[in-house]
């Protein structure tokens, strides 16, 4: 069963809401919240601001539901939902499968 790490930058007030929904609905086994400062292009201008990255650890079988749930909560017009393949130690894989599998 594949492990996925989903990178989701969001406004600080939305990041915790996203993380709680994903874990509470058993779509992610764990979410880490990491404060960052972002500089980016938006509508022809360079913007910057504080964000929090949600790093959601999930199973490949849950990925589509994770993406759809994030889109339903996220307030950005074009949210970043970056999916990375993950390999974890066997004990953590068993934890994830037991928690959300």
d(CA 39, CA 60): 30
Instruction: Quickly count: other Cβ atoms within 10 Å of residue 17's Cβ.
Output: 15
**The tokens of 41 are what?**
């292009």
Q: What is the pLDDT of residues 41-75, one digit of tens each?
A: 999 999 999 999 999 999 999 999 999 999 999 99
Express each pLDDT in 79-98 by its tens digit: 999 999 988 999 999 999 99
Count CB neighbours of 99 within 10 A: 14
pTM over 0.85: yes
List beta partners, residue 57: 5, 30
Q: What CATH architecture does domain 3-100 belong to?
A: 2-Layer Sandwich (3.30)
Q: For the chain, which residues make up each domain, given as ranges?
A: 3-100
């Amino acid at each position: 069963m594949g492990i996925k790490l989903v990178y989701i930058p969001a406004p600080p007030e939305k990041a915790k809401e996203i993380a709680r929904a994903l874990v509470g609905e058993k779509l992610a086994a764990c979410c880490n919240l990491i404060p960052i400062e972002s500089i980016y292009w938006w509508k022809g201008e360079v913007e910057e601001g504080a964000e929090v990255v949600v790093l959601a650890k999930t199973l490949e079988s849950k990925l589509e539901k994770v993406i759809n749930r994030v889109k339903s909560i996220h307030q950005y017009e074009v949210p970043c939902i970056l999916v990375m393949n993950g390999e974890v130690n066997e004990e953590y894989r068993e934890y994830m499968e037991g928690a959300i599998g």
